Amino acid sequence: MPLLKLVVPSILLLSAAAHSTAAGQSIPSPYTFIEHGQAWAIFAGKSDLNPGQLGLGPHDGTTFGGRYAVAFGGALNLDVDGTLFRSKRDVLDVSRPEDDRSLGRTDLNIALVDMRLRINLTGQRAWRRLQPFVLFGGGLALATYTDHVLELTTDMPEDEWYNFGTRFTGTFGGGTSFHLADKVSLRLDGVVNLWKIATPVGWLTVDNDPDGNNTEGEWVSAKTLRLGVAWRF
């Protein structure tokens, strides 16, 4: 019995010490599970728009928009974006010498609606609150406002006017989300949109293009850097 009275407290003491040492050596995980699978977001950014070889399309502009996102579990997500590009374009008169065609700059605003598959590189978790991703998809872009005042005041033939029209777009990009809280996150991404610049019919006539150098259309890019805030639910 004296031996038993000595052994039992010793075992209890060693167990408590081992538990205390293990707790002191545990390292908190840098990964955080993201519980909420849906989100509404707003964003703004700066865009670098390629006007094409002939310089007819939109130039650099600012970008605003909103997004609805839903997670399918794991790494796969669907983003539905609505984006407004507020840009400028050069008004060019093809009947004038090539080095003196510019009549000035006017507004050209473009709305883009597209759907994107987003793949989170850390799955449904964030690493130190960061969740990097890549995305790709497509949609439609259309001009919401085109200022034709310069064409009208110079009596430019209407078949020489540039019109953006409605264009299919391809999209790809990447970025990262920073989770500030359980339901609030910031997102920084770089997105490239591809669309086609169509050349006005009047630019393709024998009189205006005797050598046939003007292309009927070309694919160009719109590169955008955006910062947004999201509310997850």
User: Which residue in the block uniquely carries the two structure tokens 């080095």?
Assistant: 99
Per-residue pLDDT of the chain (233 residues), as tens digits, is 443 454 445 434 444 544 444 444 557 788 888 888 899 999 999 999 999 999 999 999 999 999 999 999 789 999 999 999 999 999 999 989 888 999 999 999 999 999 999 999 999 999 999 999 999 999 999 999 999 999 999 999 999 999 999 999 999 999 999 999 999 999 999 999 999 999 999 999 988 988 888 999 999 999 999 999 999 99
Can you read off the two tokens belonging to residue 83? 């984006």
What is the predicted pLDDT for the residue at 125?
92
- The answer to the question of residue 30 being in a domain is no
Q: Report the CATH number that the domain containing residue 134 is assigned in CATH.
A: 2.40.160.20
Under DSSP, the state recorded for 180 is -
pLDDT of amino acid 99: 87
CA distance linking residue 165 with residue 174, whole number of Å:
28
Is 11 part of any domain? Answer: no
In the chain, the number of structural domains is: 1
| Residue 224, beta-bridge partner list | 47, 191
Range of the structural domain that residue 55 is part of: 35-232
Is 213 a member of any domain?
A: yes
The answer to whether position 15 is within a domain reads: no
Residue position matching structure tokens 């019109």: 163
pLDDT (0 to 100) of residue 25: 55
Output the pLDDT for position 35: 86
Is residue 177 a part of any domain in this protein?
yes
Give the whole-angstrom CA distance, residue 111 versus residue 142: 5
Over the Cα atoms of the chain, what is R_g?
A: 29
pLDDT of residue 211: 87
